[in-house]
A and B are shown apart, each in its own frame.
Chain A
């Protein structure tokens, strides 16, 4: 033969029988460079293999009765020899047992009686080659296992029927937070979020084929994961299984949802918002009009595209707008003064617009105008302006002092009459209510404060009160304070608007009259007594006269007395007349 001139190391396990000697002869025939080691006991086998494992082939004679050739022994030998090719030498009688050993990892068996050099050479050659091929396959499997276990993508193997976990890789452990032991005692259903039971049908339908699903899983800490699974059927350790590649797309899904929301929001703002968005080209022709314009301006956006925006603006408002439009190109964004915009054929709406120059933005390529319909506001503003004008005219026309007290800030505002009525200079006036209190006559202050109490505690809506108010020169003026309370929605006073009338002249006049009346009453009272005295005498004398008219002397005396009393009465009356005349002066 002599085709292999490389050194061939052979370990023969068996007693030095004739058969073995023949084998050794054949071996040297095959390759003169063969080194043969010979052992005859299991102890020796172990000692030799522990020393060196670099045998190319081990030949084992089954007739070596010392050894009990159990599966364990064979595997032990194979392991110690690092899986060196093991060829059994057997007698015909033990052929069955030798055959059985093939399943334990034995490479071949040869029947000693039929053995020749060629056969031995062939068996050694094939056994070695097979071992080499096996090793390559093993190494390749190792590589795949590495790929699986060290993959950055979570992977697992499931029982195709039960969906129990058969294997999981490290990335899966990391993503889900379970230990390998926990995983392997679980079923993939344990990961499913409630609403994801549908996936069971998909798995059943595709029992023997590949499929891909998107599904939500719970982690051990109950966090929801969005994942994409690619699942392929495999045989795993002889079981029908499927290997699943898991792609965690949680962040992607969340980002997509956010984007979707943001797009919806944007759409809602543009379409249904009250703002009217349009895009104009450099010549101010409409390129785009937002759908909300249809509602606000009752214009079909199709009709307006290509038309010039200026045409819709009221002629009176155009100069101001055109003046502002010159800013285009100089500033990024500017506001247009409010203007009237034609709606339909006859109606005008007030708009307020911000122009933003986005000509450089390829997504827009024009001037973006954002307009707001301020018609109602304009109407209100006009009403307010008129009302304010009226108020100002009234405040000027009246000689009354108009006050406006803001409760929250404790601040009075006055019209200019505060200077004229009381003679104060601007810097002498304090707007706080304490100043007002300090100027009220001490005798009138408590009545005034009572009146305020009624407003703040009893919800009274007005004041109608006379009191004395100190002027700059220290004298007091009588004022008639007629104030009205403005309340908020819960009835709490927020402002008090007052009209203060200087009634000093009238008050003084009334005071004078009241004093006159009082004195006249006194006069009348005393005078009635004075008058009554002589009158009573006259009446008494007349009664006497009636009794004694027969007695001439007595009657004479009575009449004399009547005359005296009548004169007395006359004097009294004259006196009263004179006094009354004096009083009225």
Chain B
């Protein structure tokens, strides 16, 4: 199964993204974290579970930033299970180039996340099989 996780320090952003995930049938009940460190704790705990994760990750957050979280996840032996979508309020070319260095980062989205973005997520080759139309 594919578990959807939203990591953002802004409550309203989490509210919007949750609704969008549900409305577009990407996840039925996405998990959300306001702090990256909490998300990492959860993912450490779940690392050996037999599931994959779609993670919407904000870059700029107080405490652990999105980059630091990426560094940790990139070390995981089952990192193939992580499908990370970077979500940021303003696209900086430098950030995008940086993100491309991580194999687990699959896409880069400028806020707000749109219906078109959701459709694209579902078409990502690594996870598209979860959304096969019956």
Q: Does A580 contact B (CB under 8 A)?
A: no
Interface size, chain A (Cβ < 8 Å):
18
- B19 CB to closest chain A CB (Å) equals 5
The reply to whether B89 and A544 form a contact with Cβ atoms under 8 Å apart is no
Alpha-carbon distance A557/B89, docked complex (angstroms)? 22
Contact of B112 among A528, A529, A540, A564 (CB under 8 A): A540
The reply to whether A544 and B19 form a contact with Cβ atoms under 8 Å apart is yes
The reply to whether A533 and B115 form a contact with Cβ atoms under 8 Å apart is no
Which of B9-17, B33-41, B72-80 has 4 or more CB atoms under 8 Å from chain A?
B9-17
Alpha-carbon distance A261/B13, docked complex (angstroms)? 118
The reply to whether B20 and A536 form a contact with Cβ atoms under 8 Å apart is no
The reply to whether B20 and A529 form a contact with Cβ atoms under 8 Å apart is no
Q: Does A565 contact B (CB under 8 A)?
A: yes
Residues from 520 to 544 in A contacting B, C-beta threshold 8 Å: 528-529, 532-533, 536-537, 539-541, 543-544
- List B contacts of A541 (CB < 8 A): 12, 16, 112
The reply to whether A540 and B16 form a contact with Cβ atoms under 8 Å apart is yes
- List A contacts of B15 (CB < 8 A): 557, 561
The reply to whether A537 and B10 form a contact with Cβ atoms under 8 Å apart is yes
Alpha-carbon distance A548/B16, docked complex (angstroms)? 12
Contact of B12 among A529, A532, A543, A564 (CB under 8 A): A564
The reply to whether B12 and A561 form a contact with Cβ atoms under 8 Å apart is yes
Interface string of A537-575 (1 = CB under 8 A from B): 101110110011000001001000100110000000000
Q: Does B105 contact A (CB under 8 A)?
A: no
Q: Does B23 contact A (CB under 8 A)?
A: yes
The reply to whether B112 and A543 form a contact with Cβ atoms under 8 Å apart is yes
- List A contacts of B112 (CB < 8 A): 536-537, 539-541, 543
Interface string of B93-130 (1 = CB under 8 A from A): 00000000000000000111111000000000000000
- A25 CB to closest chain B CB (Å) equals 175
- List B contacts of A554 (CB < 8 A): 19
- A509 CB to closest chain B CB (Å) equals 33
Alpha-carbon distance A392/B20, docked complex (angstroms)? 83
The reply to whether A537 and B90 form a contact with Cβ atoms under 8 Å apart is no
The reply to whether B16 and A533 form a contact with Cβ atoms under 8 Å apart is no
Alpha-carbon distance A203/B78, docked complex (angstroms)? 139
- List A contacts of B13 (CB < 8 A): 537, 540
- Of the four ranges (under 10, 10 to 19, 20 to 34, 35 or more), the interface on chain B belongs to 10 to 19
Alpha-carbon distance A528/B88, docked complex (angstroms)? 13
- A539 CB to closest chain B CB (Å) equals 5
Alpha-carbon distance A56/B81, docked complex (angstroms)? 176
The reply to whether B23 and A547 form a contact with Cβ atoms under 8 Å apart is yes
Alpha-carbon distance A382/B90, docked complex (angstroms)? 75
Q: Smallest CB-CB separation from B87: which chain A residue?
A: A536
Looking at B12, B89, B113, which has the most chain A CB atoms within 10 Å of its CB? B12
Contact of B114 among A532, A543, A564 (CB under 8 A): A543
- List A contacts of B115 (CB < 8 A): 543, 547
- List A contacts of B90 (CB < 8 A): 528-529, 532-533
Residues from 48 to 97 in B contacting A, C-beta threshold 8 Å: 89-90
Contact of B89 among A533, A548, A564 (CB under 8 A): A533
Looking at B10, B16, B110, B115, which has the most chain A CB atoms within 10 Å of its CB? B16
- A559 CB to closest chain B CB (Å) equals 12
- A104 CB to closest chain B CB (Å) equals 148
- List A contacts of B16 (CB < 8 A): 537, 540-541, 544, 561
Contact of B19 among A529, A537, A548, A565 (CB under 8 A): A548
- List B contacts of A536 (CB < 8 A): 89, 110-112
- A142 CB to closest chain B CB (Å) equals 136
Q: Smallest CB-CB separation from B92: which chain A residue?
A: A529
Alpha-carbon distance A499/B54, docked complex (angstroms)? 70
Alpha-carbon distance A187/B57, docked complex (angstroms)? 132
Q: Smallest CB-CB separation from B24: which chain A residue?
A: A547
Alpha-carbon distance A529/B95, docked complex (angstroms)? 13
Q: Smallest CB-CB separation from B18: which chain A residue?
A: A544
Alpha-carbon distance A554/B19, docked complex (angstroms)? 10
Alpha-carbon distance A537/B88, docked complex (angstroms)? 11
The reply to whether B111 and A537 form a contact with Cβ atoms under 8 Å apart is yes
- List B contacts of A539 (CB < 8 A): 111-112
Looking at B15, B17, B20, which has the most chain A CB atoms within 10 Å of its CB? B15
- List A contacts of B10 (CB < 8 A): 533, 537
The reply to whether B111 and A540 form a contact with Cβ atoms under 8 Å apart is yes
- List B contacts of A540 (CB < 8 A): 13, 16-17, 20, 111-113
Contact of B20 among A544, A561, A565 (CB under 8 A): A544
Q: Smallest CB-CB separation from B58: which chain A residue?
A: A533
The reply to whether B113 and A532 form a contact with Cβ atoms under 8 Å apart is no
- List B contacts of A557 (CB < 8 A): 15
- List B contacts of A565 (CB < 8 A): 12
- List B contacts of A544 (CB < 8 A): 16, 19-20, 23
- B116 CB to closest chain A CB (Å) equals 10
Residues from 1 to 29 in B contacting A, C-beta threshold 8 Å: 10, 12-13, 15-17, 19-20, 23
- List A contacts of B89 (CB < 8 A): 529, 532-533, 536
Alpha-carbon distance A515/B20, docked complex (angstroms)? 44
Q: Smallest CB-CB separation from B19: which chain A residue?
A: A544
Alpha-carbon distance A138/B20, docked complex (angstroms)? 168
The reply to whether A537 and B12 form a contact with Cβ atoms under 8 Å apart is yes
- B42 CB to closest chain A CB (Å) equals 24
Q: Smallest CB-CB separation from B91: which chain A residue?
A: A532
- B63 CB to closest chain A CB (Å) equals 17
The 9 closest A-B pairs by CB, nearest first: A540-B112, A536-B111, A540-B16, A533-B89, A532-B90, A539-B112, A532-B89, A536-B112, A529-B90
Q: List 16 A-B contacts (CB under 8 A).
A: A532-B90, A533-B89, A533-B111, A536-B89, A537-B10, A537-B112, A540-B13, A540-B16, A540-B17, A541-B112, A543-B114, A544-B19, A544-B23, A547-B23, A554-B19, A561-B12
A residues with CB within 8 A of B: 528-529, 532-533, 536-537, 539-541, 543-544, 547-548, 554, 557, 561, 564-565
16 additional contacts (CB under 8 A) given A536-B89, A561-B16 = A533-B111, A536-B111, A536-B112, A537-B111, A539-B112, A540-B17, A540-B20, A541-B12, A543-B114, A544-B19, A548-B19, A548-B23, A554-B19, A557-B15, A561-B15, A564-B12
